[in-house]
Amino acid sequence: MSTLFSPLTLRGTTIRNRVWVSPMCQYSSVDGRPTDWHLVHLGSFARGGAGLVMSEATAVAPEGRISPQDAGIWNDAQAADYRRITDFIRSQGAVPAIQLAHAGRKASTRAPWLGRGYVPVEEGGWPTVGASAVGYADWPAPRELTADELAAMPQVWADAARRSLDAGFDVAEVHAAHGYLLHQFLSPLTNHRTDAWGGDLAGRSRLLLDVVDAVRSVWPQGKPVLVRISATDWVDGGLDLDETERVAQSLADRGVDLVDVSSGGNSPDQQLSPSPGYQVPFATRIKEASGLPVAAVGLITDPLQAEQIVASGRADAVFLGRELLRDPSFAQRAAAELGADVYWPDQYLRARV
């Protein structure tokens, strides 16, 4: 009996298996609106048997986009365009999920194949905002958000969550990792504030917890809220695993249903040597500290590897990214290798044996 292909229920939402699609930016939106590319991209994973299909980092405000071509959910037109995508994902038996995000100081950048780097205002970019006026690498320093702006920020996320419901999503994930805005507040590398949103961990985690409260307040009780977090900055003096464990405990108290555990992304000085499953121990520590279910992510590419991670209890699900780009039918292939059952659409049944 494969644990990887057993269902997982969070609140009133049952996900058919533990092979989940990581949010992966496609840099293919127009004015924040998804296109045919997103329908095919996300739909292929649902057709391929994945249990949960998560959209890319989706900006809660225009200035929160990672790039001018990134997805958004700050207006009703964007939400309406997602409906056909979520309908298709659900028609294939998968659960549609959305990652709500704000890039903060790492916004207004180019797609990777355009050389990354900051996009200046005269080329279609915009001034960025952040926890403190500390730039990323050689990019311009962001404007420090004011206390009034921070007090209003949770409502921005709540409004985005409400639109996500209208768009047909069943799971919402708050993005607090990879050096984006909420991570910038959590980390002492990027949060030099001395007011109520800075200083000790309680101050630095205030915005994240307020955002989670706001999202949870509008998200139905039967539907789960997830948080993606970077367990460590991989930099001396930055956010570390001990602090992240304490943040996860606070998330559990706020009604979060699962923590999606990644790492890094907040500093170009990070020191890490990725290897297969290198972030799994972080997920296990977060699970033990918080009592919450967790998902592991990062260089998980092999069916047996994924099965062992979940069957051993080190994580409750695995998020796959690049491996699913290479093979959108990974879940179907993995099930065959593990002797498990998985969804196949009628149109593809002749390829099952």
Closest-CA residue to 33 (of 177, 180, 167, 225) = 167
In contact, 85 and 38? CB cutoff 8 Å: yes
Catalytic residue check, 180? yes
Q: Residues of 58-67 as b/e, b for ≥16 C-beta within 10 angstroms?
A: bbbbebbbbb
Place of tokens 């994580």: 315
In contact, 139 and 105? CB cutoff 8 Å: yes
Amino acid at 175: H
Q: CA 302, CA 327: separation in Å to the nearest integer?
A: 11
Q: CA 201, CA 203: separation in Å to the nearest integer?
A: 5
Q: Which residues contact 58 (CB under 8 A, 6 or more apart)?
A: 70, 71, 72, 73, 98, 99, 100, 101, 160, 164
Report CA Rg, the chain.
Answer: 19
Cα angle 73-71-319, degrees, rounded to a multiple of 5: 100
Place of tokens 């000085």: 269
Closest-CA residue to 72 (of 121, 27, 117) = 27
Active-site residue, from 82, 180, 278, 348: 180
Closest-CA residue to 173 (of 287, 65, 57) = 57
Any idea which residues carry the catalytic annotation? 180
